Amino acid sequence: MMDWPEVKAWRRKARQTILAARTAIAAPVRTAMTQRIAERLKVLLSVRPQPISFYWPIKGEPDFRPLMRELDEAGMALCLPVAERLGEPLKFRPWTRAAKMARGFWDIPVPADPTEVTPRTLIAPVIGYDGLSYRLGYGGGFFDRTLAKLAGEAEAIGVGTSLFRLKTIQPQPHDIRMAAIVTQTGSLQRDEIRPASEVCYLDEADHIYAGYDTPAETAAALASLRGAIPPERLGLLDYALWRLEQPEIAVEPEPRPPLEVLAGILPRIRDDALHATVSALHASLLV
């Protein structure tokens, strides 16, 4: 069990590693992921209370502005968050396609009209997330403080990619679970989470019997690519190796072509998030 200083240090490293990986995904690959997330999110929002708070995308976050325009055209009430200072809950202003925008905190655009509304549904970008619907954010505490202030009057839906599902985010008492997490591969509903069975023989079996590589074998294959892939894609490779937690890696002196290596190990990766990461690296090298 980590204490709070250890958790903060771990989260800082996780954020740095994941953000570097997110920006390393080729733009067309990231756009395709966002489109799939938007399709799932649109269905989920059709039964959620309004106003719905979206966000203005930064740092490679999924860009839902096309979906926002579509929902606004359909007559749904939307708003955007406004951060005024660190350590305080967010405020919210109505947004429409015709809204005039101004520069807000960290130069993020916000509606210029100072009228405030109270959202019932919040869309929260996630850096990482876990299987209990806890969200790893940017560390400012804006969303947790906002949800605590709203005291059950609103719920948050986290949005991100399945690459960044973690075993745990080391949740603390102040962390608030999302009502759902929506990714390009599916939705994780908080109220549908059930305890796993104590009996899980496949997970207990040796990797070789199920046709999977060991973490050390996967890490060695990935590490061999470090000098063979473009620098702008190294964030994905570093994230994959960070997930594998392999301190000592034997590297092939003459690695095979990167696409050949990635295609070869993909069928032998058990972990879904790691598989999605290697798939994104493979797709990004093809662009």
* DSSP line for 203-270: HHS-HHHHTPPPHHHHHHHHHTTTTTS-GGGHHHHHHHHHHHT-S-----SSPPPHHHHHHHHGGG--
Task: Read off the CATH number of the domain in which 159 is found.
Answer: 3.40.50.10420
Alpha-carbon span 235 to 17, nearest angstrom = 7
pLDDT of residue 209: 44
Position 249 in a domain: yes
Question: Is the distance from CB of 164 to CB of 129 less than 8 angstroms?
Answer: yes
Residue with tokens 């250890």: 6
100 shares its domain with 236:
no
71 shares its domain with 133:
yes
Which domain, by its residues, includes 250?
A: 201-280
Question: Is the distance from CB of 110 to CB of 101 less than 8 angstroms?
Answer: yes
274 shares its domain with 143:
no
pLDDT of residue 201: 41
Q: How far is CA 211 from CA 207, 241, 265, 274, in A?
A: 6, 20, 11, 16
Position 132 in a domain: yes
**In the numeric block, which tokens belong to residue 16?**
């740095």
pLDDT of residue 30: 97
Alpha-carbon span 131 to 25, nearest angstrom = 23
Alpha-carbon span 36 to 53, nearest angstrom = 20
163 shares its domain with 231:
no
Position 285 in a domain: no
Separation of first and last alpha carbons in the chain = 42
Alpha-carbon span 191 to 210, nearest angstrom = 32
128 shares its domain with 56:
yes
Of 159, 192, 225, which residue constitutes the final position of a domain?
Answer: 192
pLDDT of residue 157: 97
112 shares its domain with 230:
no
Of 174, 192, 210, which residue constitutes the final position of a domain?
Answer: 192
Q: How far is residue 125 CA from its own chain's centroid?
A: 7
170 shares its domain with 240:
no
Position 286 in a domain: no
Residues lower than pLDDT 70 in the chain:
192-210, 248, 250-254
**DSSP 3-state of 163:** helix
User: pLDDT tens digits, residue range 182-194?
Assistant: 999 999 887 766 5
185 shares its domain with 276:
no
Question: Is the distance from CB of 129 to CB of 166 less than 8 angstroms?
Answer: yes
User: What single letter denotes the amino acid at residue 242?
Assistant: W
Question: Is the distance from CB of 133 to CB of 190 less than 8 angstroms?
Answer: yes
Number of domain units in the chain: 2
Q: How far is CA 169 from CA 12, 135, 152, 268, in A?
A: 11, 7, 23, 26
60 shares its domain with 158:
yes
Q: What are the E-state strand segments in 160-211?
A: 165-166, 180-182, 187-189
| Strands 109-111 vs 101-103: parallel, antiparallel or unpaired | antiparallel
**In the numeric block, which tokens belong to residue 155?**
């719920």
98 shares its domain with 154:
yes
Position 122 in a domain: yes
Q: How far is residue 183 CA from its own chain's centroid?
A: 8
Of 192, 223, 257, which residue constitutes the final position of a domain?
Answer: 192
Alpha-carbon span 189 to 12, nearest angstrom = 26
Position 128 in a domain: yes
73 shares its domain with 31:
yes
110 shares its domain with 206:
no
Alpha-carbon span 116 to 82, nearest angstrom = 10
Position 138 in a domain: yes
Position 254 in a domain: yes
